[in-house]
Structure 1
Amino acid sequence: MSAEPEALVTERGPVLVITINRPAQKNAMTLAAAKIVAEALDRLDASAGLSVAVLTGAGDTFCAGMDLKRFAEGERPALPGRGFGGLVEAPPKKPIIAAVEGWALGGGCELVLACDLVVAAEGARFGLPEVRRGLVARGGGMLRLPRRLPYAVAMELLLTGDPIDALRAESLGLVNRVVPSGQALDTALDLADRVARNAPLAVQCAKSVASAARDWPEDEIWQRQAVLSDPVFASDDAQEGARAFVERRVPVWRGR
């Protein structure tokens, strides 16, 4: 086994960059890598100095899914309560952006689906080929894909195992940006910086409401939103935002 960590975690100001680091294996996910990802996401949510994460893969592939060799040996790259890759069942409270070069297959595609924003290189491909291996996309593919894509398109991907390219993924709303090959990470970092400039309580509230509201009963949506949004309007940061606007200066957020 390589002495290199199977995932790398670095801080770039308020942005936490998580890199799956198995390029020779197309960044196939392992239990060791999943543990590093989970620890990094805990760090993201616990640190007042971190606002957003970017998830990417080393080399020319995002993630080819589960390491089938290790799967055959009995390893499962999932953690209790966190799921595949330490992410899919428990995304962070703060935003996370996928920077995709090359293939995002199987569990790799499910990692993308667990992210809030997606930047893809022109050569990126997204697919859920589990049915071709006698498996199913239980790391969020069957749950999230029909919510992110038109039902018929999602079912085609799930039932055939065929992938789609970055441009079609963008046209269907799965991807935010398609960029030249080799530029996915830089573009994702730029997008992350734009998110990080904003008030942290407001950003987290926006993510919480947007991700949860689809499951709220229609007659409770405004009350449930108020529970999450009232503290934002009552915060010191809300006052700071108004003052900074009036004074024509950059706001200084305190996260309170």
Structure 2
Amino acid sequence: MSTVLTDFADGVAVITINRPEARNAVDLETTKAIAAAIDAFEARPDLLVAILTGAGGTFCSGMDLKAFTRGEKPALPGRGFAGITERLPTKPLIAAVEGWAIAGGCELALAADLVVAARDATFGLPEVKRGLIAVGGGLVRVAKALPYHLAMQLVLTGDPLPATTAHSYGLVNVLSEPGGALEEARALATRIAANAPFAVRASKRIVASSVRYTDEEVFAEQREVWAAVTASADAQEGARAFAEKRAPLWRDQ
């Protein structure tokens, strides 16, 4: 059975890590499969939002340490851990988290644009407990998602963070009942997919860039993206649809 399952329908790509017997730990085979799924998502114009989740009640327990001890590294050049943490899709990505999202699993959640988590889910970056560091984006992104001192506590102690606490600090967008994370993520994805695709991608690009660049740099990039958006057919259609009191017909142009 494939280590990654895909379900592409109704504008939404659901990508499921399918190694429940290993708590969805990521090995090299899984890394390549996730990368291929992301490429397929990016290539299809009918798919507007992706959801990354895990099978069997666990999101992802990180790197497969057994494979690591055999010399295997679950990363791809230019793409990073799991084939995604260093090269994110241009379209929105939602993490639907049940159970544990620890180590590399937490890094996958941090790489997502939005996070939906079950109330009993748990996040964590325990790498220091194993003599490692969270180089799959965890150390880079955690202090942007959480207050500095809480982020430091997470990475220096390696202690877990309950989803309810993560939600109170903004790391989790939506809390679901246990077993309901994927359903809530689909509902969120549907709301996003109803919007103009080009504008959604452009908005993601600017927001993501704003946490990396200075204000001067991000405003310069924003002007460039804004010029492309305002010249698009969808911008004109959005204005016409509003004036005509009807649903817009997006062309992604």
Secondary structure, counterpart of 1:19 in structure 2: strand
AA of the residue aligned to 2:33: I
Corresponding position of 2:245: 248
Structural mapping, 1:1-256, within 5 Å: 4-256=1-253
In 1, Cα distance between equivalents of 2:73 and 2:4: 16
AA of the residue aligned to 2:75: A
- The TM-score, its normalising length taken from structure 1, stands at 0.97
RMSD: 0.9
In 2, Cα distance between equivalents of 1:215 and 1:61: 31
Secondary structure, counterpart of 2:123 in structure 1: strand
AA of the residue aligned to 1:55: L
AA of the residue aligned to 2:92: P
AA of the residue aligned to 2:186: L
In 2, Cα distance between equivalents of 1:217 and 1:154: 22
In 2, Cα distance between equivalents of 1:67 and 1:218: 39
Cα pair 2:144 2:211 within 8 Å, conserved:
no
In 2, Cα distance between equivalents of 1:94 and 1:22: 25
| Deviation by residue 1:24-44 (Cα, 9 ceiling, x = unmatched) | 110001111111111111122
In 1, Cα distance between equivalents of 2:103 and 2:213: 29
Q: CA deviation at 1:203?
A: 0.2
Q: CA deviation at 1:218?
A: 2.9
- The TM-score, its normalising length taken from structure 2, stands at 0.98
Secondary structure, counterpart of 1:243 in structure 2: helix
| Count of residue pairs the alignment pairs up | 253
In 1, Cα distance between equivalents of 2:213 and 2:163: 32
Cα pair 2:79 2:87 within 8 Å, conserved:
yes
Q: CA deviation at 1:246?
A: 1.4
In 2, Cα distance between equivalents of 1:219 and 1:26: 44
Secondary structure, counterpart of 1:93 in structure 2: coil
Cα pair 2:118 2:181 within 8 Å, conserved:
yes
Q: CA deviation at 1:90?
A: 0.6
Cα pair 2:209 2:218 within 8 Å, conserved:
no
Secondary structure, counterpart of 2:25 in structure 1: coil
AA of the residue aligned to 1:194: R
Task: Give the ranges of 4+ consecutive aligned residues of structure 1 lying more than 6 Å apart after TM superposition.
Answer: none
Q: CA deviation at 1:222?
A: 2.6
Cα pair 2:206 2:218 within 8 Å, conserved:
no
| Deviation by residue 1:38-66 (Cα, 9 ceiling, x = unmatched) | 11111222211110100000011000111
Q: CA deviation at 1:199?
A: 0.2
| Deviation by residue 1:68-113 (Cα, 9 ceiling, x = unmatched) | 1111111111111111111100110000000000000100000000
Unaligned ranges ≥5, structure 2: none
Q: CA deviation at 1:123?
A: 1.1
Q: CA deviation at 1:219?
A: 3.0
In 2, Cα distance between equivalents of 1:54 and 1:243: 31
AA of the residue aligned to 1:82: R
AA of the residue aligned to 1:141: G
